[in-house]
Homo-oligomer: A and B are copies of this chain.
Amino acid sequence: MNLAAAKAALAHLDLDENPASVKSKSRDFFWYSPVLKARLDHVVADFVVSPRSEAEVIEVLRTCYAHDVPVTVRGAGTGNYGQAMPLAGGCVMHLKHLDKIREIAPGRVVAEPGIVIRELDAQTRAASGQELRMMPSTAATATLGGFIAGGSGGVGSVRWGALRDLGNIIRLRVVTMEAEPQIHEFTGEELHRVSHAYGTNGIITEIEMPLAPAYDWVSGFVTLPDFEMAAAFGAALAAEDGILLKLVTVCEAPIAEAYFQRFKGHVTPEDTTAIVMVAPHAMPAFETFLARWPAAKLIFRSDAPDWARDPGPAYEYGWNHTTLRALKVEPRITYLQVRYHGPDYLETIARVRAHFGSELMQHLEVMRENGQIIYAGLTLVRFTTEERLEDIVRIHEDMGAMIFNPHRYTLEEGGRQSADARQLAFKREADPKGLLNPGKMIAWDVPDWSYETIYAYAGMRAAQ
């Protein structure tokens, strides 16, 4: 790695070498995980470059390739798996300047990766009454490119499924890291080469996404006396095909009372809560549905607010904002990402909950998967030791719940614990020196890895 030469060659770009800001731009939200915090807290890049165009992206990649400097791409750094942590140092490429919308049409938008999702939605809404089908709960700061490279779904998945499902990304334009970087346009099956690949095999420079109508979604908060009833309520609500929803979150008691500051006085420690986003024209049907569940109480609706302090949008209580709010109050809290599907998914959830008691707090998000209603669990965990956390993961798996382990920084360990042949094959082509986000793809480093212990990237730069 010839850092000095690379920096000199890139000096005419927006280059940041200030130690404090380089350190801050070398971090994402890995610290949700005590396991990752112990391993990644010291990680820092050598410099940050923020290209202003695709041409400058290509220049950065060509230059860093020539000087063997690793390049880790980032957006807002809201990922929780250490997706944007530059394990081997080198260059962090920040895409904040690539924030333009190129085209808005019925049902789709073409944009640059660095645009903040809330800003994108504001622009598409103003221009066409449309917005993205789905977004992370961090939409206020997260970028579109970061969501595609590091995310998997979120607010909107109750209707549209996961980000990688057919049709939820239309086209990606990708630059490779070679002596002479190449540009590829990917659609269809090819999208899987680079979506959710953490920037390990190319840099996304343009994105075409489907759009859905942008309604003035009503945030609704519902209390229920019982968790299993609430889980059944959420699933039944989402199964109403005629009630247009954007979010259905279920939080076991006492999550709302204990961690949602603005809920104080409106909920008790015994209240399970369901948090929903409903299209305004579906509110009458939602009220009709609610009346069929006499134990469910609608305690807040944003179209007729009656709390002294505005609680803000519903989606900032769902997905990983639930975790964020909990760990701000109770720092030992971390979480799991669980998938409950199959015909008995509600029973699986009940069994898991009964097994663990208060060590876990159940937090569920409705998703669609293969045309079915399923639950993602973003279970809150009262962390004690890494060993116990491993036990908790194993017990979930033994009980039939699938885990996407958020205490791992590699694609494989955070995913399905197996190599993705398409991502690996494209990395061979697009990143022959293995300089893109090093240490995140085990299949590249150690092809015969057994997954028996947590992977420790050998090239990780030591704490200084």
**A residues apposed to B, CB below 8 Å:** 105-108, 129, 133, 159-161, 165-168, 170-171, 187-189, 210-213, 215-216, 235, 238-244, 279-282, 284-289, 291, 343, 368-373
Residues of B within 8 A of A107 (CB): 213, 215, 244, 279-282
Contact B343 A240 (CB under 8 A): no
Give CA–CA (A243, B159) in the complex, Å. Answer: 11
Given contacts A107-B215, A288-B189, contact A240 B165 (CB under 8 A): yes
Identity of the chain B residue whose Cβ is nearest the Cβ of A107 in the assembled complex: B281
Could you say how many copies of this chain the assembly holds? 2
Identity of the chain B residue whose Cβ is nearest the Cβ of A367 in the assembled complex: B241
Given contacts A106-B215, A291-B189, contact A210 B166 (CB under 8 A): no
Top 5 nearest A-B pairs (CB, nearest first) are: A239-B371, A167-B242, A167-B285, A161-B241, A107-B281
Give CA–CA (A327, B446) in the complex, Å. Answer: 66
Q: Known pairs A166-B242, A210-B242, A238-B371. 8 more at Cβ < 8 A?
A: A106-B281, A108-B281, A159-B241, A167-B244, A187-B288, A188-B287, A213-B213, A239-B370
What's the least CB distance linking A151 to chain B, in Å? 15
Contact A242 B160 (CB under 8 A): yes
Residues of B within 8 A of A240 (CB): 161, 165-167, 371
Given B106, B133, B171, B215, which contacts A129 in the complex, CB threshold below 8 Å?
B106
What's the least CB distance linking A164 to chain B, in Å? 9
Contact A371 B373 (CB under 8 A): yes
Contact A242 B106 (CB under 8 A): no
Residues of B within 8 A of A188 (CB): 284-285, 287-288, 291
Contact B166 A289 (CB under 8 A): yes
What's the least CB distance linking A321 to chain B, in Å? 23
Give CA–CA (A239, B166) in the complex, Å. Answer: 10
Most buried by B among A241, A285, A370: A241
Residues of B within 8 A of A289 (CB): 166
Contact B288 A166 (CB under 8 A): yes
Give CA–CA (A463, B213) in the complex, Å. Answer: 54
Given B159, B167, B189, B368, which contacts A282 in the complex, CB threshold below 8 Å?
B167
Residues of B within 8 A of A244 (CB): 107, 167, 210
Given B105, B213, B242, which contacts A165 in the complex, CB threshold below 8 Å?
B242
Give CA–CA (A212, B240) in the complex, Å. Answer: 16
What's the least CB distance linking A102 to chain B, in Å? 15
Contact A241 B288 (CB under 8 A): no
Identity of the chain B residue whose Cβ is nearest the Cβ of A241 in the assembled complex: B161
What's the least CB distance linking A188 to chain B, in Å? 4
Give CA–CA (A128, B372) in the complex, Å. Answer: 31
Some 9 contacts from A to B, beta carbons below 8 A apart, are A160-B242, A166-B243, A167-B240, A167-B282, A170-B285, A188-B284, A188-B288, A210-B282, A241-B368
Residues of B within 8 A of A187 (CB): 284, 288
Identity of the chain B residue whose Cβ is nearest the Cβ of A285 in the assembled complex: B167
